Amino acid sequence: MKRLISFLLLLFLSACTIAVVETPSVNLSNSTPTAVPENQVTLRSLADRKDFGIGAAVALGPLRRDRTYSQVLAGEFNQIMPENAMKFQALQPERDRFNFKGADDIVDFANEHNMKMFGHTLVWQRGLADWLKAGDWTREELIEILRNHIQTVVSRYRGRIYAWDVVNEALDTDSSLRELIWSRGIGPEYIELSYRWAHEADPNAKLFYNEYDPGGWGAQSGQKVDALYRLVADLKERNVPLDGVGLQMHLRLDDAPTYEGLKQSLERLAELDLQIQITETDVRMGYQGEPSPEQLQQQASIYKDLIQACLDVPKCTGFWFWGFTDRYTWVSSFMGQSGAPLIFDQYYRPKPAYDAIAQAIQAATR
């Protein structure tokens, strides 16, 4: 009889243990997602005090089905952008048949939680609809397709989206103008036309150009920041309606800019009377199993350098993560391993990188 009782007790305790391990640290109650209590210090509360944008890209699936995801998102960030829901293929899956359901859900969430909404992205080489890629279009047809897409989307959200990534990644890795359907079919002027069309559709929206640099925009990686500077300086020279630049930060532990190098690049671009935002930040760790304490500290140190450089350049008005929890990151599907690149772990527990970001914002004198 005793053996039976001890076996049942063991069974009960092990069940409790499993429940504890798999229960994320954030309250998983079934209450509707609400912002984190006012008095709790969060990245959002710290950033709001400095009138600084702290944002995250939002994945539609987790937003719709994971209450903890939406709760942490609303509590920790004051601006959001869709990871995929506003790309061409998502919004216009068939010619002239727009599907705004996913994008509307994210815009509505931002509105419900008093967050600023950033649109990503109108013109890019990827995320294109199959019908567009399959077509044999004349220049006039492509101009009309692109104009119609931009103006239909931007005018729908007029007044509800404060800024747009109009053109994303128009520069190739070697810093030449990237070859894509729009440049081949319309010519390099597709860039200028896109900003003018977006501005016509919503004159009050801030229009950004977003770019990727493998070296993370450190001055030593030089070449791409030179090409970016020339591109945006030329657009400004020709009075193209351009308000800001987004610098993507998809980094690895062994490939990140220094604080000084990034600050130099930010200051250089700030000369062009543009806002700058650090966008799409994630710092993946090549490892098997769980990252070591040393890797987590190294990751935190990189995150701190990135946001500190932004905080120390007045024209750098915002900092974005590409997702926010290791539970959902594009890295898993694209790199074949999670790389634990973000600031919350898969159980929504803040990592050392979270603390480093919070401390930098709190200490910022802006």
Mind telling me the catalytic residues?
A: 169, 280
* Least distance CB 359 / ligand G3I (angstroms): 27
Neighbour tally for 88: CB within 10 Å: 22
Place of tokens 């990827």: 126
Structure tokens belonging to residue 151: 């103006």
Give me the DSSP letters along 279-295: EEEEEE---SSSPPHHH
Closest CB to ligand G3I among residues 190, 212: 212
* Least distance CB 192 / ligand G3I (angstroms): 21
Closest CB to ligand G3I among residues 52, 322: 322
Closest CB to ligand G3I among residues 93, 188: 93
Q: Which residue is nearest to ligand G3I (CB)?
A: 330
Number of C-alpha atoms within 13 angstroms, CB side, residue 36? 19
Give the separation between CA 211 and CA 138, rounded to whole angstroms: 28
- CB contact set of 116 (below 8 Å; sequence gap of 6+): 53, 55, 78, 79, 80, 110, 162, 163
Give the separation between CA 59 and CA 81, rounded to whole angstroms: 9
* Class of residue 156 by CB neighbours under 10 A (exposed 0-12, middle 13-18, buried 19+): middle
Give the separation between CA 340 and CA 25, rounded to whole angstroms: 17
Closest CB to ligand G3I among residues 157, 212: 212
* Least distance CB 223 / ligand G3I (angstroms): 19
Closest CB to ligand G3I among residues 112, 172: 172
Closest CB to ligand G3I among residues 143, 163: 163
Structure tokens belonging to residue 324: 């926010």
Give the separation between CA 296 and CA 2, rounded to whole angstroms: 46
* Least distance CB 235 / ligand G3I (angstroms): 20
* Least distance CB 61 / ligand G3I (angstroms): 8
Tell me the torsion sign for CA atoms 26, 30, 36, 38.
negative
Give the separation between CA 256 and CA 218, rounded to whole angstroms: 8
User: Which strand (E) or helix (H) includes residue 244?
Assistant: strand 244-252
* Least distance CB 322 / ligand G3I (angstroms): 6
Instruction: Name the residues that contact ligand G3I, by CB under 6 A.
Output: 83-84, 87, 126-127, 168, 212, 248, 280, 330
